[in-house]
Amino acid sequence: MIVLLLNVIFSVIIFALTITGNLDKLFVPGLFTPLAIGLMGLTVPLSFVSYYLQVPRFYIYSLLGGFGFFFSELLYPLIGEPWDIVVSYGSIGCMILIIGLVIFIRFLYNYPLEDER
């Protein structure tokens, strides 16, 4: 709930600064825009989904998705056009896959199949 509230407050402030044209006056670096877009475009909607579904790990997924857009912009000068997105979102996808496999393995240990008779 706190993550959702902070994301909404941050998004409203950035939206208001962008509409009024005052965002340029804050002397923020050029990478602030992709961070704001990622947090407003991915993190806030997925945080709402997490809140209504009552699945706490979706908050982590939403933050990873929001920062993925930012990481792809960081990687662009280093590795180029197609690979920046592949590396940033691929690593996030691998993290989500590992978390899902851990949850699945725990489920299998807690509820093993019974022998068929």
Burial class (CB in 10 A: 0-12, 13-18, 19+), 46: buried
Residue 9: inside a domain: yes
Decide if 62 is inside a domain.
yes
The pTM (predicted TM-score) of the whole model is 0.68
Residue 83 lies in a domain: yes
Residue 117 lies in a domain: no
Enclosing domain of residue 95: 2-110
For residue 102, being part of any structural domain is answered with yes
Contacts of 27 by beta carbon, 8 Å cutoff, 6+ apart: none
40 domain residue, yes or no? yes
Residue 19, classified by CB atoms within 10 Å of its CB into exposed (0-12), middle (13-18) or buried (19+), is: exposed
* Overall number of domains in the chain: 1
pLDDT tens, position by position, 71-97? 888 888 888 888 888 999 899 999 999
Q: What is the pLDDT of residues 9-33, one digit of tens each?
A: 877 777 777 777 776 666 556 667 7
Flag whether 61 is in a domain: yes
User: Residue 111 pLDDT > 80, yes or no?
Assistant: yes
pLDDT of residue 105: 95
